[in-house]
Structure 1
């Protein structure tokens, strides 16, 4: 269960790094606009906000990734604390999005389900 939980955490990290790329680097491109459903004008006017939001996603991924490294190199207490902090925050943010924006529920599930599963599996692994 521990390995599966860490693999799911790593997948969540990759998803959040991709979100960082889309929001902070590619925000005004056709691809990002089609993913997020924005017009060229909306993309330009929200570019600064998206840039900041992308880094938020990147930092959550970095925290979880560093936790995975620590856990797999024998520092499980600190490592798992960081994995929980990163993936738990990812799942919590997705829950807020799910509850506050019904039109974005699909996106919330896509970005929140894997980190939530990681948290659950890691908790099960620690209690068994």
Structure 2
């Protein structure tokens, strides 16, 4: 179950790297505007905010990846701690989006379900192990 939790955490990390790309690199492109439901003007106006927010997503993904690598090389406590911090923060951010913008429930669930499953699987694996 620990491996399943780490795999799910890796998937959540990849999702957040993609979100980083959309927010910090491609924010004003037609594709990103379509995904986030913004106009060209809104995207230009919010470009700096999105750029900054994208890096938050990248940092969460980095924490998860470093945690997975740490666990893989035998630093189990450090590894699972980093994975829990990264995925727990992803879940919390998804919940904030869900509560603050219910119309964006689909996006919130994409952001929070994979890391939530990772947390659950990892917690179960650790409790059994």
Q: Following the alignment from structure 2 to structure 1, what is the Cα–Cα distance between the partners of residues 97 and 30?
A: 23
Distance apart, 1:99 and its partner CA: 1.0
Look up the match of 1:67. Answer: 67
Q: Following the alignment from structure 1 to structure 2, what is the Cα–Cα distance between the partners of residues 100 and 17?
A: 23
Q: Secondary structure at the match of 2:38?
A: coil
Asked if 1:96 corresponds to 2:104, the answer is: no
Look up the match of 1:17. Answer: 17
Look up the match of 1:115. Answer: 115
Q: Following the alignment from structure 2 to structure 1, what is the Cα–Cα distance between the partners of residues 100 and 42?
A: 20
Spell out, residue by residue over 1:6-58, the C-alpha distance to the aligned partner (whole angstroms, 9 max, x if none). Answer: 00000000000000000000000000000000000000000000000000000
Look up the match of 2:85. Answer: 85
Asked if 1:45 corresponds to 2:16, the answer is: no
Ranges in structure 1 where 5+ consecutive residues have no aligned partner = none
Q: Secondary structure at the match of 1:28?
A: coil
Distance apart, 1:100 and its partner CA: 1.2
Q: Which runs of 4+ in 1 moved over 4 A?
A: none
Q: Following the alignment from structure 2 to structure 1, what is the Cα–Cα distance between the partners of residues 66 and 7?
A: 13
Q: Secondary structure at the match of 1:38?
A: coil
TM-score w.r.t. the length of structure 2 is 0.98
Spell out, residue by residue over 1:54-85, the C-alpha distance to the aligned partner (whole angstroms, 9 max, x if none). Answer: 00000000001000000111000000000000
